[in-house]
Amino acid sequence: DTAVSQTPKYLVTQMGNDKSIKCEQNLGHDTMYWYKQDSKKFLKIMFSYNNKELIINETVPNRFSPKSPDKAHLNLHINSLELGDSAVYFCASSQVASGAYEQYFGPGTRLTVT
Partner 1 sequence: QQPVQSPQAVILREGEDAVINCSSSKALYSVHWYRQKHGEAPVFLMILLKGGEQKGHEKISASFNEKKQQSSLYLTASQLSYSGTYFCGTDNAGNMLTFGGGTRLMVKP
Binding residues vs partner 1 (CB under 8 A): 40-45, 48, 55-56, 90, 97-108
Nearer to partner 1, 64 or 105 (CB): 105
Residue 92 has a CB neighbour count (10 Å cut-off) of 22
Query: What is the biggest distance separating any 2 CA atoms in the chain, rounded to whole angstroms?
Result: 40
User: How far is the C-alpha of 4 from the C-alpha of 83, rounded, in Å?
Assistant: 27
CB 49 within 8 A of CB 30: no
Nearer to partner 1, 36 or 78 (CB): 36
Residue 82 has a CB neighbour count (10 Å cut-off) of 12
Nearer to partner 1, 78 or 92 (CB): 92
Nearer to partner 1, 86 or 108 (CB): 108
Closest approach of Cβ 104 to partner 1, in Å? 7
Closest approach of Cβ 73 to partner 1, in Å? 18
Q: Which residues contact 14 (CB under 8 A, 6 or more apart)?
A: 81, 113, 114
Closest approach of Cβ 9 to partner 1, in Å? 10
Closest approach of Cβ 15 to partner 1, in Å? 25
